[in-house]
């Protein structure tokens, strides 16, 4: 066994030495009970870990279970610590690193408000159509678009709307699920 992967009394030996942070999507199955989100957020806060995206919803009403999707950017060592600490929380049933498990489906929803008149309105509608964004509200001075897709698609759409009169953006955060027949 490699010397850098030898047990040292901590979980840090589980990963190779590297300092480059990586973006990972974690899926956490928890009991749907008061305070669980605060406990998980507190775990991140207490250790100085940043959460890039966080979504929570009840997924199995009969079993009283919720799924929390957390996107973090961390070094491999810190990521191992995050997963181990999440797994130790009592209402947590499972923690899956969807990024490490491979080819997960990731989607996000955004509402994008764009103001403009004349040629800007025409160009805004043309681009929205190209991105398959739906008009959910329109006035003579602005549009609100609903767009879903990968975060990179949404960011590209937002970037194109800036010179056309971008006013405001609201994003849901990432929803992700692994491919294949097995569940969490």
Q: State which H helix or E strand residue 39 sits in.
A: helix 36-46
Which residues constitute the domain of residue 109?
105-176
Number of domains in the chain: 2
What integer pLDDT is reported at residue 16 of this predicted model? 55
In a domain, 94, yes or no: yes
Same-domain check for residues 80 and 120: no
CATH number for 172: 3.30.70.1150
In a domain, 184, yes or no: no
Same-domain check for residues 12 and 89: yes
Same-domain check for residues 79 and 114: no
Using CA atoms in the order 111, 112, 116, 121, what is the torsion angle rounded to 10 degrees?
A: -80
What integer pLDDT is reported at residue 2 of this predicted model? 45
What integer pLDDT is reported at residue 17 of this predicted model? 54
Same-domain check for residues 91 and 172: no
CATH number for 85: 3.30.70.260
Average pLDDT over residues 171-175: 94
Give percent of the chain with pLDDT exceeding 90.
66
Per-residue burial over 57-72, b if 16 or more Cβ lie within 10 Å, else e, is eeeeeeeebbbbbbbb
Per-residue DSSP letter, 12: G
Give the pLDDT band (50/70/90) at residue 18.
low
Position 15 pLDDT exceeds 90: no
Same-domain check for residues 69 and 95: yes
Same-domain check for residues 129 and 171: yes
Domain's final residue, options 47, 75, 101: 101
Same-domain check for residues 164 and 113: yes
Position 10 pLDDT exceeds 90: no
Domain's final residue, options 101, 117, 133: 101
Mean pLDDT of all residues belonging to the chain:
89
Asked if residues 145 and 71 have their Cβ atoms less than 8 Å apart, the reply is no
In a domain, 22, yes or no: yes
Same-domain check for residues 85 and 111: no
């Amino acid at each position: 066994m490699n010397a850098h992967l030898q047990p040292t009394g901590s979980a840090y030996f589980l990963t190779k030495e590297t300092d480059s942070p990586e973006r990972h999507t974690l899926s956490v199955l928890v009991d749907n009970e008061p305070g669980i989100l605060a406990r998980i957020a507190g775990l991140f806060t207490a250790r100085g870990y940043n959460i890039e995206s966080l979504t929570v919803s009840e997924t199995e009403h009969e079993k009283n279970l919720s799924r929390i999707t957390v996107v973090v950017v961390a070094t491999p060592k810190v990521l191992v610590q995050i997963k181990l600490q999440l797994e130790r929380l009592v209402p947590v049933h499972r923690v899956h690193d969807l990024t490490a498990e491979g080819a997960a489906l990731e989607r996000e929803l955004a509402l994008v408000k764009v103001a403009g008149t004349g040629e800007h309105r025409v160009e805004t509608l043309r681009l929205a159509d190209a991105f398959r964004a739906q008009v959910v509200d329109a006035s003579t001075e602005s549009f609100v678009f609903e767009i879903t897709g990968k975060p990179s698609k949404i960011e590209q759409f937002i970037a194109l709307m800036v010179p056309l009169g971008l006013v405001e953006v609201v994003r849901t955060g990432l929803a992700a699920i692994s491919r294949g027949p097995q569940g969490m």
